[in-house]
Chains A and B, each alone.
Chain A
Amino acid sequence: MKDISQDQAEAIFVEHSSYVYRIALFLSKSPTLAEDITQDTFLQVFRKYNSYDPAKPITPWIYQIALNITRKTMRKQKWLHLVKEVPTNEGLNYVEDKILQDELGHELWKEINKLTLKSREVIVLHYYSGLKLNEIATALDIPLGTCKSRLNTALNSLEKQLQGNKITIACKGEDLYGTI
């Protein structure tokens, strides 16, 4: 495949940059990092475009790149934190600080944000980006079975965290696998 043209690049950027940014924001909880992740993601998308297989959907491929960059960035942040060179993270609570309209939604959002990174990855790809489980498996480079179990684990943790609230998780296990 030939290198990406400016028109192709712009079309891809326009269609996917907001979603990539929001996923990065949700996972990193920092608008600054999310901006960096978005930029690095598209730099890599443009650079690697000649290795992309056009027979396959492009969204999981872009998300795969975005997630790898997010993880790398967050590992680097952890390291910087250890050596005390972490930049001021003005947006750490950015997402949580948003004004929320209803109490249950607020509670749910708070608990979703407490999930582990792995759990948040599957949750954001499935419930926000609307990816099917096999597409999430591609984006995360994991087998479908692992993907199902991660989503199930995420929902179980969420349910456990939400005990005592008036919210239950409706579909888990086999019901959930029907979403492929």
Chain B
Amino acid sequence: MEQSNTKIGDVMKKNLDQSQPSIRFSTVWDKHKKSSRKLFGLKKVVAVPLTALVSLMVLLTVGFTFTAIEDNTDYPFVDDPAVIGKWQSVDYVAEIDQFNPSQKTQQGDLFLKELAFIKGGKMLEALSQGNGSLRDLNLSWTQGIAINKHEKTASKYVIKEINGSTYMFYEWKCGDYTYFHMTPQFFVLNKVDNLDYSNYKMAAIDDKVDYPFVDDPQLVGKWECVDYVKTIDKFKPGTSSVLGELFLTQLNIAENGKISALTSESKTPYEKLSWTKGLILDKKDKMASKYEIKELKGDIYLFYEWKSGDYKFGGMQPEYFVLKKLK
């Protein structure tokens, strides 16, 4: 057997090293000079006022028309034995009729990887992010419809036999549909098995949560959630990168290591969190989240590493809730 890691480099060198661009530096430099002169003129005379005017119009239009779509998700359960089992994504199409098993429209990994429909109306979903395994994301189904109560979407599904294989066309209702009112497209999934996934065990990450209490007076107080960002450096005070409401709304952090968290989904505070210097701990679900406190533009912000099911069961990189200290 040949070990290919060094070979990968060799093969790439062999195939790419002979290729040279025909473009010359002088051509690029001339274009650069011309375009920078043009840009300067445009910027001063037309571009800046025009961009400002267009932005204002867009803002006004969006401000007046922006409404998130909320589907009816209240359907009684109707059984559909044909849907039970695991389905694997094979394509993503704008219209059902567009699908051709021998000529896929998409290459590479598809965002939605798998679905498992369980008897009685439960569903599991696997995305190509993280560890890509099936997870319980609180989705449910009834005949012809997959329901996401959290996102308030009801996606229709259609099962078809094509060339002897069973395919599902699954309406994909993401932010483009909810916030930008775009027509949903369809994931095409191929039936893999008819198994019952009721007892499917999700592989979970358990953090060490057994830490002694170390005080951090800076952390104590009331914090209001203002944003949710991929990494700490992406946060810009005064702006929000999230469309719609934030799941975590407030943290009340007491001196004794206790935390009371408020979410947009419940009026009852979540009291299971605790803290020690540098970490917010969820001992019940075995998750230890790092936190950082920063002063930005005169306000104090808490960056709270959010370890949701995406981290625990999906192995994905945690993101951050940003909370502003209330005075």
For residue A104, which residues in chain B have a CB less than 8 angstroms away from its CB?
Answer: 2, 7
In angstroms, how far is the closest chain B Cβ from the Cβ of A101?
Answer: 7
Is A80 interfacial (CB-CB < 8 Å)?
no
Alpha-carbon distance A38/B4, docked complex (angstroms): 30
Is B36 interfacial (CB-CB < 8 Å)?
yes
Counting contact residues on chain A (CB < 8 A from B), the size range is: 35 or more
- The interface bits of chain B over 1-33 (1 if a CB of A lies within 8 angstroms of the residue's CB, else 0) are 111111111111111111111110101110110
Number of A-B contacts (CB under 8 A): 124
A108-122 residues with Cβ-Cβ distance < 8 A to B are 108-109, 112, 115-119
* Contact, CB under 8 Å: A127 / B29: no
A169: contacting residue among B4, B15, B25, B108, CB under 8 A: B4
Assuming A47-B32, A112-B11, is B16 touching A128 (CB within 8 A)?
yes
* Contact, CB under 8 Å: B32 / A46: yes
Alpha-carbon distance A149/B3, docked complex (angstroms): 20
Is B268 interfacial (CB-CB < 8 Å)?
no
Is B100 interfacial (CB-CB < 8 Å)?
no
In angstroms, how far is the closest chain A Cβ from the Cβ of B308?
Answer: 16
Alpha-carbon distance A152/B81, docked complex (angstroms): 38
Is A83 interfacial (CB-CB < 8 Å)?
no
* Contact, CB under 8 Å: B15 / A116: no
For residue A101, which residues in chain B have a CB less than 8 angstroms away from its CB?
Answer: 14
Is B166 interfacial (CB-CB < 8 Å)?
no
A167: contacting residue among B4, B22, B231, CB under 8 A: B4
Is B107 interfacial (CB-CB < 8 Å)?
yes
For residue A117, which residues in chain B have a CB less than 8 angstroms away from its CB?
Answer: 108
A108: contacting residue among B8, B16, B36, B317, CB under 8 A: B8
Assuming A6-B29, A100-B15, A105-B14, is B20 touching A21 (CB within 8 A)?
yes
Sample (20) of A-B pairs whose CB atoms are under 8 Å apart: A6-B29, A18-B19, A21-B21, A22-B17, A31-B19, A95-B16, A98-B15, A100-B14, A104-B7, A108-B7, A108-B11, A112-B11, A112-B12, A143-B231, A146-B317, A166-B1, A167-B4, A169-B5, A170-B4, A170-B5
